[in-house]
Structure 1
């Protein structure tokens, strides 16, 4: 089944219409529909996998409660319910009756440093939250300034890391450019970078966490690394919270460094991916010839200035094919 298309030329600009809509708008509408279906499908799968486990947990909890009441017949049920609610309320605020009552507080400097990192990197585990009104206000102000500062830092570091990765792309192009098309070489470049970063920041750290965290298996550790570096931050697994954790402040500091460096590498991977135009499906939603997009002279001036600062590497060291459009990043 073919979708009817209409091509119009206005003021020397070509605009393609599909089903009465601009082609980019048509793609965007269909993408929104596909995205909603994707969310609904994800919800169905999660419900299918997790509901039986939740039912088993509820059943086990009810049996444990009945067994506890049976062994303590003189216990005041109303007082017990009040105590359970207080424990749950404290747990939701980051205070565990099992550990933190007698263990290290959540707001020691090491723990606070870890919390500050999760706030400004937008990971936000949620297992520890500010308790005071002053702390909540400061958390908002701190995030308001800290998140942009973090984005600037990550962008600056990614820009520097793009230099060696681009040199590596030129190396591949110089050695393989006469055998394979530029798109194939770019895929090879992206695959090697992605594989290296997956090993260094997912597989290897997961093995370390499995060794350090006594209650984590490898899947738990890999799950924690992925959830953290993608800034999802569910907070169901937090390293260093075991009651007998050795060198907790230093351990938290190392995890903080791992998260920051890992986020830089995630952004680097995304930058390399978006540079491959054939894989960047976002171009399907761009307005054709920018005819419907308002022009910003200042923004155009900044873009031209940035383009003028971008230079190619010495071509004698990189005999690339004529079709190669490798971007090269230079240190200012």
Structure 2
């Protein structure tokens, strides 16, 4: 990519980041302030109703609950909830590591686990990226083959229309398979609203992975076997969904870069033509001045 184009894109990214930060600030800070106030009021009310509990004891209880939550243990059901480190849950965790989603709902707490994680991630992340890119590439090849068959023997106008239809079809089918249908399952199993489930699918497949919602935790599924199958399904969904999205984003990136380069070339060519026109005009003026001087000297 040309340095000038890259510079323009960097400035655009900076503006985009500032824009996002300002919008999130105004949307989220009032809610945070309200939550802080509710938390303070709840703490005060508890200590007033249970005067036998000191403020230090209450703080110690809160710290214990927070520490447990940081390790993926929900204090309200810690005795009967499924383990976060059974085989299925550990495979799900490994999936979030190599795909760089990193929900943050659980993390290695032992020294051995932390050391193993470093080497596991160093090899697993690039290896997975290559595989996902390869699968995405194969999906694009399949789309291109279908497009060639659909466009065979058509005029340029029909080709353009069918090409747009093909791209839209790939997007819509992918959204149905990897976003809308899984969101229905998540809303039923996790007892989320459908809007929350859609939010989770988007956060996951874009690898943002906030960790505020995580499939496989606190479900209404009973039975160890069913929970194992569900968690393995979520891991498979993540891998396949990321492959689809990788191919889609690659295509959009190519289209965007092509459009930016075309527009940049137009601007650069326009500037060059303008500069060339100015040079010709200046040269013409200089020539006229020279001719006028020659005529004057001849008359003298």
Which of the five TM-score ranges fits, normalised by the shorter chain? Answer: 0.7 to 0.9
CA shift digits 1:120-146 (9 cap, x unpaired) = 111111110000011011011111111
Distance 1:101 1:130 in 2: 20
Distance 1:281 1:101 in 2: 57
> Which among 199, 214, 226 is matched to residue 223 of structure 1?
199
Structure 1 segment 169-188 matched on structure 2, within 5 A: 169-174=147-152, 177-178=154-155, 180=157, 183-188=160-165
Query: Mind listing any 5+ residue stretches in structure 2 that lack a counterpart?
Result: 266-300
Distance 2:40 2:207 in 1: 35
Asked whether the equivalents of residues 189 and 220 of structure 2 are also in contact (C-alpha less than 8 Å), the reply is no
Report which of the two has the higher share of helix. Answer: 2
Structure-2 residue corresponding to 1:259: 238
> Which among 127, 133, 136 is matched to residue 111 of structure 2?
133
Q: CA deviation at 1:106?
A: 1.2
Deviates further, 238-247 or 107-116: 238-247
Tell me the TM-score normalized by structure 1: 0.72
Bigger relative CO (Cα 8 Å, ≥ 6 apart): 1
Q: CA deviation at 1:101?
A: 4.3
Q: For the structure 1 residues 158 and 283, does the alpha-carbon distance in structure 2 shift closer, same or farther, using more than 3 Å as the test?
A: farther
> Which among 142, 166, 175 is matched to residue 189 of structure 1?
166
Q: Does 1:76 align with 2:54?
A: yes
Q: Does 1:271 align with 2:250?
A: yes
Structure-2 residue corresponding to 1:162: 140
Structure 1 segment 103-118 matched on structure 2, within 5 A: 103-118=81-96
Distance 1:116 1:285 in 2: 43
Structure-2 residue corresponding to 1:11: none
Q: CA deviation at 1:179?
A: 5.2
* Counterpart secondary structure, 1:134: helix
Q: CA deviation at 1:171?
A: 2.5
* Counterpart secondary structure, 1:98: helix
* Counterpart secondary structure, 2:208: coil
Distance 2:78 2:102 in 1: 20
Q: For the structure 1 residues 274 and 172, does the alpha-carbon distance in structure 2 shift closer, same or farther, using more than 3 Å as the test?
A: farther
Distance 1:229 1:201 in 2: 9
Tell me the TM-score normalized by structure 2: 0.79
Asked whether the equivalents of residues 24 and 284 of structure 1 are also in contact (C-alpha less than 8 Å), the reply is no
Distance 1:91 1:277 in 2: 42
Q: CA deviation at 1:245?
A: 3.0
Q: For the structure 1 residues 34 and 161, does the alpha-carbon distance in structure 2 shift closer, same or farther, using more than 3 Å as the test?
A: closer
Query: Mind listing any 5+ residue stretches in structure 1 that lack a counterpart?
Result: 1-22, 287-332
Structure 1 segment 14-163 matched on structure 2, within 5 A: 24-163=2-141
Distance 1:170 1:208 in 2: 35
- The higher radius of gyration belongs to 2
Report which of the two has the higher share of strand. Answer: 1
Structure-1 residue corresponding to 2:186: 209
